[in-house]
Amino acid sequence: MGTTQLESVSEPKYWHLRTVLSEALDSEFTVGEILPNERELAARFGVARATLRQALDQLELEGRLQRRRGVGTTVAPPRTGVAVGTERQSWPGTGDDAWQPVDSTLAAPPAAVATALETARDQVVHIVRRSRVSDGRPVAAELLYVPLRSAPEATGSDAHGDAARARAVLGELQRLELQGQDRSVELGSAGADDARELDRLPGAPVLVVTTRFFAEGRTAALSVATYRADTCRLTFGTSGGVEIHHGPQG
């Protein structure tokens, strides 16, 4: 690669470099390709390594780059679509659900969850933990809160293994007639547990999607799913949104 000098601009130098780098990712690199090291990139664009790191950090935040231990900085695959505005409704674990069950425990939920589930604050519920992986990387972690009334037989389930117990709760839940669901999305920061599961640093930006499932005239389950903001995008409507793939197409 040759040397590319940045123009003199009024915007922060790192931000202009981020734009130039983004264009280079589209025209010169493919998904999964490893970028040159920082010394080579800084020399190419005629900037200090501190400025380069700021630009790389911004592109990682935007989901364009992925830093992997022992590998380096690679071009990230397209973001995973998170459907939040579709008419399609189904219980967790049915159809083409991309989530994988991890385990299930009995414990009292947070106070706000207990209120939403209309249970006493000290009443234990099933807490099913699930994960979602895309292109070999964790992109989301979910806690699904299910009151005992929604899955009574799973309480005494003899299923062996953490994932089997989780599937037993999901199976019980799916026997109910789903009457509807609602969903909300907010921007948040990864706590210690979420950061560990999502391979991010605590405080990293995340999308928190909360879904309530209704059956028998009340809330039958509540899902709190935490998505990596750098790898996911929200989609609306039944078509799943517009797909935009970065990098050369061929």
* Structure confidence by residue, pLDDT tens digits, 34-90: 999 999 999 999 999 999 999 998 888 888 888 877 788 989 888 877 777 766 788
Backbone angles phi, psi at 121, to 5 degrees: -65, -30
**Domain ranges, residue 232:** 80-236
Provide the pLDDT confidence category of residue 246 given band limits of 50, 70 and 90.
very low
In a domain, 2, yes or no: no
223 close to 211: Cβ distance less than 8 angstroms: yes
Q: Are residues 192 and 70 in the same domain?
A: no
- Is pLDDT above 50 for 99? yes
User: Which of 144, 104, 109 has the alpha carbon at shortest distance from 123?
Assistant: 109
Please provide the DSSP assignment of 127-143 as one string: EEEEEEEETTEEEEEEE
- Is pLDDT above 80 for 238? no
- Is pLDDT above 60 for 216? yes
Q: Going by C-beta distance under 8 Å and a sequence separation of 6 or more, which residues neighbour residue 207?
A: 82, 185, 186, 187, 188, 226, 227, 228, 229, 232, 234
What was the pLDDT predicted at 3? 56
Last residue of a domain, one of 75, 90, 105: 75
**What is the sign, positive or negative, of the torsion defined by CA atoms of 101, 96, 176, 180?**
positive
- Is pLDDT above 70 for 175? yes
Last residue of a domain, one of 75, 96, 120: 75
